[in-house]
Structure 1
């Protein structure tokens, strides 16, 4: 079983050889304009364009769904819908841990199929309001236990 490796750096510049998947959390309202998505859009246009088209089409766009967008021959971006809206309300922060768990399971399947490593910031813990103590065990179960290398980037 692997473990999460923590490094300082930019998750949009993955520190590994071979195929890499950059994972991040998106909301279910079609909003793309704050947080880590800005760093993704600064580097590549395709993930935002795909997310917006997917949202408009409503074709499978729901909590727990993932779209994998290839941005270079060796880098994919996983748009994971695991956030209900964009603000904390009466039902707590926007993160939905059950949806994130489903996203990570699908991400694990895709990464295993590609033979890829996975790279991310502390997903779900910024604007989504999640707690890393709850997110990390999901990553360990869905990725590390499958021996998929995972690197988490702190700025």
Structure 2
């Protein structure tokens, strides 16, 4: 299935897709941006994430699925420490891991943010081709949300927003 691009937030799809992707670090902090919003909306998921971090179970390159009520949350580590930047190789490793495991996990539809951009410091122009390489030929619906501040949402569709 082709990737669908939309402007907005992954939360715009929380009643439409089965799984939302949350970008996280590996040290148990969800203090800014998308991760902070996930922490507020899904406090049980945050507690689980923090415990996993304390046990050293959260690693870059290995997103993990939190299953409770819907939506499910795929915590996707894009950086080790919240102060540091994301790395393209960690995005690629994590996407490869996702592609190898999504069927086993039972994921049937998913919404991604622009991985590693904004607070992660990566450029969308570098991240987009990596996401397209791994997600472009999956057999489930995949939506990638292009960040747009409130009130500045653009058009939706299968085009490739800049």
Would you say same fold, with TM above 0.5? yes
Which of 132, 135, 157 is residue 140 of structure 1 equivalent to?
132
Superposition deviation, residue 130 in structure 1: 1.0
Gaps of 5+ in 2: 149-162
**Normalized against structure 2, the TM-score is what?**
0.77
Residue 7 of structure 1: aligned partner: 6
- 1:93-104 to 2 correspondences below 5 Å: 94-104=85-95
Query: Once the 2 structures are TM-superposed, how far is the Cα of residue 112 of structure 1 from its aligned partner?
Result: 3.0
Stretches of structure 1 that go unaligned for 5 or more consecutive residues are 89-93
Q: Could you say which residue in structure 1 is the equivalent of 2:64?
A: 67
Residue pairs, 1:1-155, within 5 angstroms: 2-14=1-13, 17=16, 20-59=18-57, 61-72=58-69, 74-87=70-83, 94-113=85-104, 114-153=106-145, 154-155=147-148
- Between the aligned partners of 2:73 and 2:56, the Cα distance in structure 1 is 19
Is the 8 Å Cα contact of residues 59 and 80 (structure 2) preserved in structure 1?
A: no
Q: CA RMSD in A?
A: 2.2
User: Which structure dedicates a bigger proportion of its chain to strand?
Assistant: 1
Q: CA deviation at 1:115?
A: 4.8
Distance 2:14 2:28 in 1: 30
Task: Report how far residue 109 of structure 1 moved.
Answer: 3.4
Count of paired positions: 146
